[in-house]
Amino acid sequence: MSQLVLPLRLADHAVFDSFFALGNETLVATLREVAAGRGDHGCWLWGAPATGKTHLLQAVCDRAGDGSVYVPLSMFVSAGPAILDGLAGRQLVCIDDVDAVAGDADWEVVLFDLYNQIVDAGGQLVVSASSAPRESAFELADLRSRLSRLPVFQLQSLDDEQRVAALQLRAMHRGLKLPGETARYLLKRSKRDMASLFDVLDKLDLESLRAQRRLTIPFVRDVLQL
């Protein structure tokens, strides 16, 4: 996908097929509609860290193609709101961590204008945050009101068995076979948030390729020195 305004590459794994959607089926279905250009101005999704917000925003852009743009706002706070110039011309704008600039008057005015321009042009805006729009720290009442009009979805966290299934899905997407007992071993001996677990899986993928070994518990123990 071309990024004309911001030279950012989407993560190869961040597609709908590699996202474990149990508990978030309605949100994923909505985002698929958005990616197809059939959404109602977009949506707001929020949740705890490592629940999949970034994955889903990038998946929407991957599916939507060149008419979309992904903006990880927390990376660009210091650059100033001018980095959003020209985005209203895109059919789909996905802004990750939109609440990273809450309380900054200059950013809020630009976001307000961007929202209005996107809606007036018939485009869609998808944003992620750590809380629902009415609980966010935006001070510009008009901006908070506009963002509250977007359909709001809370990403649900996974329980242990769902974490195992999510790891197996990601492994399968990478061409790996991750036995259930190995996934549960990782869950007991690694950090339990999905971002950390996926980082471990990335390392195991590389090491299994080098060693031409399957992801057995002894192999995982040796690689991770657990």
Ordered DSSP codes for 56-112: HHHHHHHHHGGGEEEEEGGGSGGG-GGGGTTGGGSSEEEEETGGGGTT-HHHHHHHH
Contact between residue 203 and residue 215 where contact means Cβ atoms under 8 Å apart: no
Mean pLDDT of 19-31: 95
pTM of the model: 0.89
Condensed to tens digits (0 to 9), the pLDDT of residues 12-24 reads: 688 999 999 999 9
Condensed to tens digits (0 to 9), the pLDDT of residues 175-226 reads: 899 999 999 999 998 888 898 999 999 999 999 989 999 999 999 999 988 6
